[in-house]
């Protein structure tokens, strides 16, 4: 964990409890000085690899190496355009590597990238790795899952169809980086940034096991590093069927925001709607030009020139209204931004059900340590659980959740230390 330029961030990746290797990768590139931040911002990326053998691992590693490098390379492009180009080129490289080696055929990744700029938070994504923003008591998903379920929801399918899709196509994605030579990248934002905001990037190893309500409650209630560990531990305690990657960036000082509004807005090319001139402008222009031609044939040249000139003026007005002479660049400012996010909003309120669930998990985990005769520090564990229980009895739900969460993370940490001492490299495989 580091602190730089008003920003605190924490990042963790875990193999989970069912996988042999970790196909997730991440990258954090914090601007080294204010000038770099103003021009390119801070970059955060999570990539979830897909493919047999070591293909997914290679694909995710390639992506997190290529994208930040290429994004910073294309300084002549605006940040949204540089980010999109970097992802397209990363896609081409992953695809090329996949075609070149039979073991890597069809390897790919899902990916999410967050760039924190003076103008706001810019997001690019493909697949179902997500980016969230937690602000106060609300959690917002800034990315759209490129999955069968989300696509059906977007089309307005009935609840019955969505339930069936959730059962049969829960993990089926519709887009990924690498398998195809061309890919569509979604870019969202810029979203306003405020002091206190927390941004979460994660792979589906987290969101498959932990609900948005729980994610929001944890982000709102724990310090950054503790929140990252708590999310990883909770996903593992619920089975950990997939690799889990969590990256949290929290805004802690106004220096990481555009408080003064002095920074030039982001510009993009060719994204604005085409303006259409009213039909009467074109009709009037054509009528005047034709009238001028007819008058010229009659020999009244001065009058013909006047009519033709008026027709040309109308034509120019039409072209300007159509956007031909207007700038092809579009300014992203105010309410104008790329994409349609946020796509979901969830309250971060800590509920009694979640607190009770954590309490039951602490009881089960303690019993498992006794049954399996694990040598761990149960004195400190019991102290944390007792403190949480007292808070719960007083209906202090946030302190109760914090206490139970810290107890769970404490014992998981003790178990990981034990396994490392015994030489087990898979330090997440805690059998409960």
The CATH number assigned to the domain holding 58 equals 3.60.40.10
Calpha distance 285→305 (Å, rounded): 14
> How many separate domains does the chain show?
3
Question: Cα–Cα–Cα angle for 283, 288, 289, nearest 5°?
Answer: 100
**Cα–Cα distance list, 271 to 259, 274, 339 (Å):** 27, 9, 11
Cis peptide before 190 (omega within 30 of 0): yes
206 and 343 in a single domain? The answer is yes
In-domain check, residue 16 = yes
More confident residue, 123 or 415: 123
Torsion sign over Cα 270, 271, 276, 277: negative
pLDDT tens-digit profile of 281-335? Answer: 557 766 776 776 777 777 777 776 787 677 677 667 665 555 443 344 688 877 8
pLDDT for res 335: 80
pLDDT tens-digit profile of 66-83? Answer: 999 999 999 999 999 999
128 and 175 in a single domain? The answer is yes
Unique residue bearing structure tokens 């959690």: 139
50 and 177 in a single domain? The answer is yes
Residue 204 clears pLDDT 70, i.e. is over it: yes
86 and 159 in a single domain? The answer is yes
Closest CA to 108 of 81, 85, 126: 126
411 and 291 in a single domain? The answer is no
243 and 383 in a single domain? The answer is no
pLDDT tens-digit profile of 322-347? Answer: 544 334 468 887 788 999 999 999 99
In-domain check, residue 259 = yes
**Cα–Cα distance list, 56 to 44, 120, 207 (Å):** 20, 32, 19
318 and 367 in a single domain? The answer is no
pLDDT for res 284: 72
Q: In the predicted model, what is the mean pLDDT of residues 262-280?
A: 65
88 and 235 in a single domain? The answer is yes
pLDDT for res 281: 58
In-domain check, residue 254 = yes
In-domain check, residue 187 = yes
175 and 290 in a single domain? The answer is no
Closest CA to 83 of 49, 131, 50: 131
Calpha distance 14→351 (Å, rounded): 27
3-state secondary structure 309-374: HHHHHHHHHHHHHHCCCCCCEEEECCCCCECCCCCEEEECCCCHHHHHHHHHHHHHHHHHHHHCCC
Calpha distance 129→300 (Å, rounded): 72
pTM to 2 decimals? 0.84
244 and 317 in a single domain? The answer is no
357 and 343 in a single domain? The answer is no
39 and 180 in a single domain? The answer is yes
Domain that holds residue 416: 352-421
In-domain check, residue 430 = no
């Amino acid at each position: 964990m580091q602190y730089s330029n008003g920003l605190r961030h924490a990042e963790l990746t875990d193999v989970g409890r069912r996988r042999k290797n970790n196909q997730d990768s991440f990258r954090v590139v914090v601007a080294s000085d204010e000038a770099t931040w103003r021009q390119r911002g801070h970059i955060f990326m999570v990539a979830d690899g897909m493919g047999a053998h070591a293909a997914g691992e290679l694909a995710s590693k390639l992506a997190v190496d290529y994208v930040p490098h290429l994004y910073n390379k294309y300084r002549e492009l605006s940040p949204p355009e540089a980010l999109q180009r970097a992802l397209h080129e990363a896609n081409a490289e992953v695809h090329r590597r996949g075609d070149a080696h039979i073991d890597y055929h069809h390897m790919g990744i899902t990916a999410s990238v967050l760039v924190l700029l003076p103008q706001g938070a810019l997001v690019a994504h493909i697949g179902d790795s997500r980016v969230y923003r937690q602000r106060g008591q609300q959690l917002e998903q800034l990315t759209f899952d490129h999955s069968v379920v989300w696509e059906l929801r977007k089309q307005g399918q009935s609840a019955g169809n969505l339930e069936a899709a959730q059962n049969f196509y829960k993990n089926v994605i519709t887009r990924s980086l690498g398998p195809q030579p061309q890919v569509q990248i979604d870019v969202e934002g810029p979203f306003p940034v405020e002091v206190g905001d927390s941004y979460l990037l994660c792979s589906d190893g987290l969101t498959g096991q932990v609900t948005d309500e729980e994610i929001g409650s944890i982000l709102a209630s724990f310090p950054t590093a503790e929140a990252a560990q708590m999310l990883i531990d909770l996903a593992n305690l619920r089975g950990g069927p997939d690799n889990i990657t969590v990256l949290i960036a929290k805004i802690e000082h106004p220096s990481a925001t555009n408080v003064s509004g002095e920074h030039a807005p982001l510009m993009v090319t060719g994204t604005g709607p085409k303006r259409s001139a009213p039909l009467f402008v074109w009709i009037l222009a054509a009528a005047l030009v034709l009238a001028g031609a007819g008058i010229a044939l009659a020999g009244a040249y001065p009058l013909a020139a006047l009519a033709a000139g008026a027709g040309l003026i109308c034509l120019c007005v039409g072209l300007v209204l159509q956007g031909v002479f207007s700038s092809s660049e579009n300014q992203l400012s105010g309410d104008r931004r790329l994409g349609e996010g946020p796509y979901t909003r969830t309250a971060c309120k800590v509920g009694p059900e979640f607190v009770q669930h954590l309490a039951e998990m602490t009881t089960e985990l303690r019993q498992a340590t006794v049954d399996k005769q694990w040598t761990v520090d149960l004195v400190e564990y019991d102290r944390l659980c007792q403190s949480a229980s007292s808070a719960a009895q007083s209906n202090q739900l946030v302190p109760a959740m914090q206490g139970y969460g810290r107890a769970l993370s404490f014992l998981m940490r003790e178990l990981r230390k034990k396994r490392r001492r015994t030489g087990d490299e898979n330090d997440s495989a805690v059998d409960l």
